[in-house]
Amino acid sequence: MGLSKKDLTVDDHGIIIDHSLVSLNIPFSEIEDAILVDGASFNLGHVVSGEKTDRRYIGKYVNSAFGIYTMYSYADVDRYIVVTYGGGKTLVFNMPTASATEATAQKMGAVSE
């Protein structure tokens, strides 16, 4: 697969995020579910720890759908991949563009909401 952005890599083995605010290594074997969602239907919630800027959302967030979850995304991309892993943990991320996010979701076998 090999799709990546600066601190995020999605390859044939899984998802790796290596950033000062978020560090995750999720093998595909640990992913329970992956869904591609539209930004219009996604409730970001609020920051527990991390940052929310004009450019990106990164860190621990909380909303009514997931409780506390990990967010790593570009703020101007309105598509997200929601990944459930490790017994109910949630990661929400996207790629630099909507089309790259959709391509990554397809390669991961994510279903569309």
Q: What is the pLDDT of residues 74-95, one digit of tens each?
A: 999 999 999 999 999 999 999 9
Confidence band, pLDDT 50/70/90 cuts, at residue 20: confident
Structure tokens that stand for 36 in this block: 């591609």
Flag whether pLDDT at 4 surpasses 60: no
R_g of the chain, CA atoms, integer Å: 13
Count Cβ atoms below 10 Å from residue 9 Cβ, excluding itself.
17
Q: What is the pLDDT of residue 5?
A: 58
CA triple 47-4-94, angle to 5 deg? 35
Flag whether pLDDT at 37 surpasses 80: yes
Of 8-12, 24-28, 45-49, the range with the lowest mean pLDDT is 8-12
Flag whether pLDDT at 1 surpasses 60: no
What type of residue sits at position 15?
A: I
pTM of the model: 0.92
Alpha helices for 1-113 (secondary structure H): 98-108
Flag whether pLDDT at 3 surpasses 60: no
